């Protein structure tokens, strides 16, 4: 039996509406079945992954994931982030995952996917929005744990990603993560040396194990306290900047940790030779995401096609810190 003609038209209109771009000045936000893309003056800024992408050849299927951002682009078009890296296939560009934790008395790990103790997936788009100087989208994730042979939701997370109108020399966007318990059971986070909001850099920055040399174009870290990737590990800076060359082009990206965050300024895990770092509040000791209490995390990202300029970064930090009080 064929559906009524009016119902066919209604469904077709709904599909078309879901694929229409949302404009905000020179910003354009476009949703498809698989992703949400943001461009500025026709240049790509970032892409959010709704549908898990095919796992590259040679990488196990359990590393598949949705609910993260990749790529993040520089103003000159380089891909800042890396996904499914051969050395650590569970590191997905810009992502949020907890590591050593417990739920309902069982060990849980949402970060190391090979353990099969936890997983994260995209669930739904909650909102697309445009303002005069920005566009934004809100998306829901589920942090899942095994109960027998089934996966159940332990934590629901909503990301609100806001991309700002900026001059041509940089991109600027914010992420606010809000996590809530699904049931009356808490998620307990143990003291650990990494986990949380992370960013994995371009594959061109990967170095051999134990290689601590710095060659022209190599990835370097700089914290707001002036520390590099070795002295800065597990310190508590206001921001962390990474810089180097991608495809021969100078780039820099700075991540600001909101002063409103839990245990701000949060400790950071700066890896000694892999192109990633994360903000890790559990370095300071265990804590709990409990029923009825939101766990909120806020971060700002500044991306340029230039080498690090500390004066510029501090200017943006001052502006961000004033708005986060």
Domains of the chain by range and CATH? 14-323 (2.70.98)
What's the pLDDT score for residue 24?
Answer: 52
Q: Six-digit token pair at 181?
A: 């318990």
* Residue 201, token pair as written in the block: 């850099």
Q: Measured between alpha carbons, how far is residue 35 from residues 50, 143, 291 in Å?
A: 5, 19, 31
According to the model, what pLDDT value does residue 21 have?
A: 61
pLDDT tens for 155-204 read: 999 999 999 999 999 999 999 999 999 999 999 999 999 999 999 999 99
| DSSP H helices in the chain | 5-18, 310-323
Question: Given this model, what pLDDT does residue 243 score?
Answer: 96
Cis peptide before 192, with omega less than 30 degrees from 0?
no
What is the structure's pLDDT at 7? 44
Express each pLDDT in 226-265 by its tens digit: 999 999 999 999 999 999 999 999 999 999 999 999 999 9
Which value, in Å, is the radius of gyration of the alpha carbons in the chain? 20
What pLDDT is stored for residue 20 in this prediction? 53
pLDDT for 1 equals 46
Spell out the residues 6+ positions from residue 261 whose beta carbon is closer than 8 angstroms to its own: 279, 281, 296, 297, 298
**21-24 and 94-97 strand pairing:** unpaired
Model-level pTM? Answer: 0.91
Please tell me the predicted confidence (pLDDT) of residue 15.
47
**59 contacts 51 by C-beta, under 8 angstroms:** no
| Whole-number pLDDT of residue 208 | 73
Please give the angle made by the CA atoms of 199, 202 and 203, to the nearest 5 degrees: 120
pLDDT by residue, tens only, the chain of 325 residues: 445 554 444 444 444 444 556 555 699 999 999 999 999 999 999 999 999 998 888 888 889 999 999 999 999 999 999 999 888 879 899 999 999 999 999 999 999 999 999 999 999 999 999 998 999 999 999 999 998 889 999 999 999 999 999 999 999 999 999 999 999 999 999 999 999 999 999 999 987 777 777 888 899 999 999 999 999 999 999 999 999 999 999 999 999 999 999 999 999 999 988 999 999 999 999 999 999 999 999 999 999 999 999 999 999 999 999 999 7
Give 143-165 as a DSSP string. EEEEETTEEEEEEEEEEEEEEE-
* Distance between CA atoms of residues 95 and 239, nearest Å: 17
Question: With contact defined as beta carbons under 8 Å apart, do 235 and 313 qualify?
Answer: no
Q: What is the dihedral of CA 234, 235, 238, 242, to 10 degrees?
A: -60
CB atoms near residue 59 (< 10 Å): 15
The dihedral through the CA atoms of 119, 122, 126, 127 has a sign that is positive
Q: Please tell me the predicted confidence (pLDDT) of residue 14.
A: 47
- Cα–chain center distance at 164: 17
């Amino acid at each position: 039996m064929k559906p009524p003609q009016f119902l066919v038209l209604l469904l077709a209109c709904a599909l078309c509406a879901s694929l229409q771009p949302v404009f905000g000045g020179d910003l354009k936000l476009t949703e498809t079945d698989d992703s949400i893309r943001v461009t500025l003056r026709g240049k790509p800024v970032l892409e959010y992954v709704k549908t898990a992408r095919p796992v590259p050849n040679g990488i196990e299927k359990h590393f598949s994931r949705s609910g993260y951002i990749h790529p993040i682009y520089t103003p000159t078009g380089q891909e800042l982030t890396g996904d499914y890296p051969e050395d650590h296939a569970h590191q997905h560009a810009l992502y949020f995952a907890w590591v050593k934790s417990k739920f309902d008395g069982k060990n849980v790990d949402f970060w190391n996917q090979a353990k099969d103790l936890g997983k994260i997936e995209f669930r739904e788009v909650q909102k697309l929005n445009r303002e005069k100087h920005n566009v934004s989208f809100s998306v829901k994730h589920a942090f899942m744990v095994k109960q027998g042979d089934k996966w159940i939701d332990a934590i629901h997370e909503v990301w609100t990603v806001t991309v700002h109108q900026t001059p041509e020399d940089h991109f600027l966007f914010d992420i606010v993560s809000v996590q809530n318990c699904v049931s009356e059971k808490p998620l307990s986070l143990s003291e650990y040396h990494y986990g949380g909001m992370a960013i994995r850099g371009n594959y061109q920055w990967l170095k051999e194990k134990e290689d601590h040399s710095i060659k022209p174009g190599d990835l370097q870290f700089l914290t707001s306290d002036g520390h590099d990737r070795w002295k800065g590990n597990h310190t508590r800076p206001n921001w962390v900047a990474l810089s180097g060359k991608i495809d021969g082009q100078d780039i820099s990206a700075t991540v600001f940790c909101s002063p409103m965050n839990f245990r701000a300024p949060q400790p950071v895990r700066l890896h000694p030779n892999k192109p990633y770092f994360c903000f890790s509040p559990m370095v300071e000791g265990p804590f709990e995401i409990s029923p009825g209490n939101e766990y909120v995390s806020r971060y700002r990202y500044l991306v340029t096609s230039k080498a690090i300029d500390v004066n510029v970064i501090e200017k943006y930090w001052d502006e961000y810190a004033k708005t986060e009080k």
